[in-house]
Amino acid sequence: MKETEERSKGPKAVSWRLAAAVIFGSLLFSTTAMAAEGDGELWVNGQNILEAEQNTVPCGAGTAVYDASRHVLTLNSAVIETGNEDGNGISVKYEGETPADLTIQLAGNSRIQAGKEAQITGGIFSPGGIIVQGNGALSIEAENGIYTAEDLRLKGGSITVKTKEPALQAEQDIGIEGVSVVAHSSENMGICAGGAITVKSGSVSAKGGPGMPGVAARQTQGTEGEEPELQIVLDSGYAERNGGEAAVSDWFQEGEETAAWSSFVNPGEKGKLSPDFGNAMNEVRIEKKGSWIKDRIGWWYQFQDKSYPVNQWKYIDRQWYYFNGSGYMATGWLKKGNTWYYLKPSGAMATGWCKVGNTWYYLKDSGAMAKGWVLLDNTWYYLRGDGAMATGWLLTGGKWYYLKSDGSMAVGWLKLGSLWYYLEDSGAMATGWRLLEDEWYYLKSDGSMAVNWCKVGNTWYYLRSDGRMATGWLKLGKTWYYLKDSGAMVTGLYQVAGKNYVFDTSGAMKTGWAKTNNIWYYLKSDGAVYTGWLRDGNTTYYLKEDGAMATGWFLTENEWYFADSSGAMAVNRWIGNYYVGSTGAMHTSGYTPDGYYVDADGKWMPLSEDDIKTDGDRLVTKYYYFTLPETWNNRMEYFVGRGLWAFLYADTVMDGNQKKQEELFTIEAVRTEQEAREYAAEMEDGRYLGQHSGLWFIAGGDENTVIDLYTKAQQAEIQQMHKDVESILDSLVFR
């Protein structure tokens, strides 16, 4: 369709109520205009011609003659410049039944216009029908043109009406046949009827005021459910010169009536007439169709008046054509301004899809060649800069799109060869992660769907053969992998369902020994880390609760053990100042197999010949140790001499000028068994302890006592401590 200027709407649109009033004359002629005394009056040029001599009224150099028997008023070059009291140049006044039709016979050139002395506001008015015929011409220039309360039939001659209000108006039908009509209104409709408008022959030029249609016909609904019918009828072979087409509106409500309008819509527009005349033609030309003529140069179109279009678009038989500067019909590509059009070999402007050579183009309803994105029937297409329909991959706006072989934009999953792609709802090719129907997919930078292993950033993912991201346990061949809920491949130590597993840098689950982050683990056949004691070959290892192989000192089940850097548990050897035995457990509070004493913390306690040291509730010497009762805490002192260990009551007592202490018991070491036995016999409760470290040991009390010098409380305490000596000596342990 040729580009046309959009009609103004809103304030310039006709009011339905105003339009209805205009049709029925209430705004044009006073209703009192039909009231008169007698049978009727026919006013012409300010006179009642029925009272004029021979029913003739001079009109300028011409005359107006009325034949009452035939109801024919003949205008013979009449110049009517005076109106009656209502301001009409020709006016029928009649009381009673509707008068017979008034026939106006045109002879010569007649006109109705305002004179110097009397103003004419209306051209012709009649409550009955009006017929205009003859070979002459009539022109009217006034506020109002021709009005009839019934039918208006124009059957001959030439009629030109230029007014402020409607130029031609009938409450019923308007018929045009064999007459040339010009009906122009500066503020209202050019031609309007309350019935049908029919053009059988002749020509019509109708123009409305701003926002008003050139031609309009109104109808009212008869019965409910009845559809509006087109009220403009053109005889075969006639058309609107510029390609306008008659159309009817939907029903609308006006007061108590339901009505619809018919008018001409702008060339090439489809559908119904807009209720506000927004798509109605302001200027209408109806004439006999022109004809196509072909000469040696090409085709051209000739109107009825022998003119032809030049340098312009023309809408002919519902098709747009373009005629060049010489008036010939254009074909092929045509550029107007910055817009391209395509004219088919027939000259008709192409719209919609059009294949030129091997290339498809899309022409809009206006005929303009489309570029860029076009949405058609909910499907997107892309037309390149030269208008050619794109197919295949397209990069535009920094995004990739795929256009199928028919040009339609692909959306959703797309398979090309062996590769899959995903196109968003916008058509843009997806890249990166996409969540589709609760499944994650990864589209590479080239848009292709990733399958198998794929590294994104510093993380590996596994995409199944259908592109779905794997999570959880995954077995490929004989190798197990674990993918987090995020899909990220696990490496190193990782806990699954409360169990620790180790995965190497390739993500493969390990079994047997495996090292990660400089820590060794032992994995069972199912991949779970082993914990606790492990005997592997001839070597014992300890795996902590998290599965990490223990090295150095470690505590388990209240025992200390030591594993070297290889994880092997140490046995029967010193580790610094500590000793581990055959079970690997560290010795505490006792002598090692090689005769060294280690304290409660397991640490070796160096002892000289004369040393005596405490280890908790123990007393320790180079040769032995024993355990003291808690009641002896701070209540005993000891004396060490060569081969003698004496244990005394802590409190001293005066014996004359000498301080003395009660001896509780002594342990002695001698060089021969004989000596030992002799000394033991001399001791109070002496005890032979045998040979140890090359010496013979004895223990016992002193027969000399000073207990009587102590207080009774002290004596009681000393006596109890004497009783404890036997159990103390029973606890004695030699190296």
Do 329 and 191 belong to one domain?
Answer: no
Supply 248's token pair. 């009817």
Q: Which long-range contacts (CB under 8 A, 24 or more apart) does 476-481 make?
A: 479/508, 479/509, 480/508, 480/509, 480/527, 481/507, 481/508, 481/509
Do 46 and 194 belong to one domain?
Answer: yes
Query: Which one-letter DSSP state was computed for residue 187?
Result: S
More confident position, 609 or 104: 104
**pLDDT digit string (tens) for 185-198?**
999 999 999 999 99
Do 335 and 465 belong to one domain?
Answer: no
Residue with tokens 């109801």: 71
DSSP β-bridge partners for residue 242? none
Tell me: pLDDT of 399 over 70: yes
More confident position, 461 or 114: 461
The amino acid occupying position 637 is: E
More confident position, 269 or 445: 445
Burial string for 412-434 (b: 16+ CB within 10 Å, else e) reads eebeeeeebbbbeeebbbbbeee
pLDDT at 317: 86
More confident position, 8 or 379: 379
pLDDT at 610: 79
Q: What is the pTM of this model?
A: 0.61
Q: What is the mean pLDDT of residues 665-679?
A: 93
**Residue 437 backbone class (left: φ over 0; alpha: ψ -120 to 50; beta: rest):** left
Tell me: pLDDT of 651 over 60: yes
**pLDDT digit string (tens) for 75-93?**
999 999 999 988 999 999 8
pLDDT at 198: 97
Tell me: pLDDT of 410 over 60: yes
Query: What total of structural domains would you count in the chain?
Result: 4
- How remote is the C-alpha of 38 from its chain's centroid? 82
pLDDT at 38: 45
Do 346 and 415 belong to one domain?
Answer: no
Tell me: pLDDT of 363 over 80: yes
Do 427 and 362 belong to one domain?
Answer: no
In this structure, are strands 257-265 and 245-248 parallel, antiparallel, or unpaired? antiparallel
Centre a 10 Å sphere on the Cβ of residue 579 and count the other Cβ atoms it contains. 25
Do 160 and 306 belong to one domain?
Answer: no
Do 358 and 419 belong to one domain?
Answer: no
Terminal CA-to-CA distance of the chain, rounded, Å?
Answer: 120
Q: How many residues does the chain have?
A: 735
pLDDT at 116: 62
Provide the pLDDT confidence category of residue 118 given band limits of 50, 70 and 90: low
Residue 593 half-sphere exposure toward CB, CA atoms < 13 A? 9
Supply 430's token pair. 């997806």
Supply 112's token pair. 């109705």
Residue with tokens 């038989």: 317
Helices (H), 422-513: none
Do 346 and 426 belong to one domain?
Answer: no
Examine residue 489 and state whether it is found in any structural domain, yes or no.
no
Do 59 and 189 belong to one domain?
Answer: yes
Find all residues with CB under 8 Å of 314, minimum gap 6, and list them: 242, 243, 301, 320, 321, 322, 323
Beta strands in 651-716 (DSSP E): 653-655, 658-660, 663-670, 684-692, 695-701
Instruction: Give the domain extent around 462.
Output: 411-470
Q: Residue 166 to residues 35, 203, 244: CA-CA distances in angstroms?
A: 23, 18, 21
Please tell me the distance from the alpha carbon of residue 651 to that of residue 660, in angstroms, as a whole number: 9
Q: What is the mean pLDDT of residues 599-628?
A: 90
Find all residues with CB under 8 Å of 515, minimum gap 6, and list them: 521
Q: What is the mean pLDDT of residues 565-591?
A: 95
Tell me: pLDDT of 143 over 90: yes
Torsion of CA 195, 210, 280, 221, to 10 degrees: -30
Among 143-157, 262-276, 397-411, the least confident range:
262-276
Do 162 and 73 belong to one domain?
Answer: yes
Supply 180's token pair. 């040339």
More confident position, 21 or 107: 107
Do 432 and 365 belong to one domain?
Answer: no
Backbone angles phi, psi at 439, to 5 degrees: -125, 140
Query: In which element (H, E) is residue 185 found?
Result: strand 179-185
The amino acid occupying position 481 is: Y
pLDDT at 117: 62
Find all residues with CB under 8 Å of 275, minimum gap 6, and list them: 249, 250, 252, 261
Domain boundary among 172, 202, 218: 218
Contact 628, 728 (CB under 8 A): yes
Examine residue 348 and state whether it is found in any structural domain, yes or no.
yes
Please tell me the distance from the alpha carbon of residue 707 to that of residue 649, in angstroms, as a whole number: 10
Tell me: pLDDT of 7 over 80: no
Contact 393, 382 (CB under 8 A): no
Do 320 and 464 belong to one domain?
Answer: no
Residue with tokens 């292709």: 448
DSSP 192-211: EESS-EEE-SEEEEEE-STT
Examine residue 254 and state whether it is found in any structural domain, yes or no.
no
**pLDDT digit string (tens) for 288-329?**
989 999 999 999 999 988 999 999 999 888 899 999 999 999
**pLDDT digit string (tens) for 164-213?**
999 999 999 999 999 999 999 999 999 999 999 999 999 999 999 999 99
Examine residue 547 and state whether it is found in any structural domain, yes or no.
no
Provide the pLDDT confidence category of residue 39 given band limits of 50, 70 and 90: low
Write down the mean pLDDT value for the chain: 91
Report angle CA 59, 60, 62 to the nearest 5 degrees: 65
Sign of CA dihedral 181, 183, 184, 190: negative
Domain boundary among 438, 470, 502: 470
Please tell me the distance from the alpha carbon of residue 322 to that of residue 306, in angstroms, as a whole number: 18
Examine residue 16 and state whether it is found in any structural domain, yes or no.
no
Tell me: pLDDT of 595 over 90: no
3-class DSSP state of 285: strand
Burial string for 648-669 (b: 16+ CB within 10 Å, else e) reads bbbebbeeeeeebbbbbbbbbb
Among 264-278, 382-396, 644-658, the least confident range:
264-278
Q: What is the mean pLDDT of residues 428-457?
A: 97
Examine residue 480 and state whether it is found in any structural domain, yes or no.
no
Please tell me the distance from the alpha carbon of residue 248 to that of residue 239, in angstroms, as a whole number: 16
pLDDT at 12: 32
Centre a 10 Å sphere on the Cβ of residue 18 and count the other Cβ atoms it contains. 11
Q: Residue 88 to residues 105, 517, 590: CA-CA distances in angstroms?
A: 18, 113, 146
Tell me: pLDDT of 333 over 70: yes
**pLDDT digit string (tens) for 492-519?**
999 999 999 999 999 999 999 999 999 9
Find all residues with CB under 8 Å of 312, minimum gap 6, and list them: 322, 323
- Identify the CATH number of the domain in which residue 297 sits: 2.10.270.10
pLDDT at 276: 87
Q: Residue 265 to residues 174, 213, 279: CA-CA distances in angstroms?
A: 19, 9, 5
Q: What is the mean pLDDT of residues 696-723?
A: 93
Domain boundary among 218, 253, 270: 218
Please tell me the distance from the alpha carbon of residue 303 to that of residue 323, in angstroms, as a whole number: 13
Burial string for 142-161 (b: 16+ CB within 10 Å, else e) reads bbbbbbbbbbbbbbbbbbbb
pLDDT at 559: 96
Examine residue 245 and state whether it is found in any structural domain, yes or no.
no
Examine residue 506 and state whether it is found in any structural domain, yes or no.
no
Residue 679 half-sphere exposure toward CB, CA atoms < 13 A? 23
Please tell me the distance from the alpha carbon of residue 446 to that of residue 431, in angstroms, as a whole number: 7
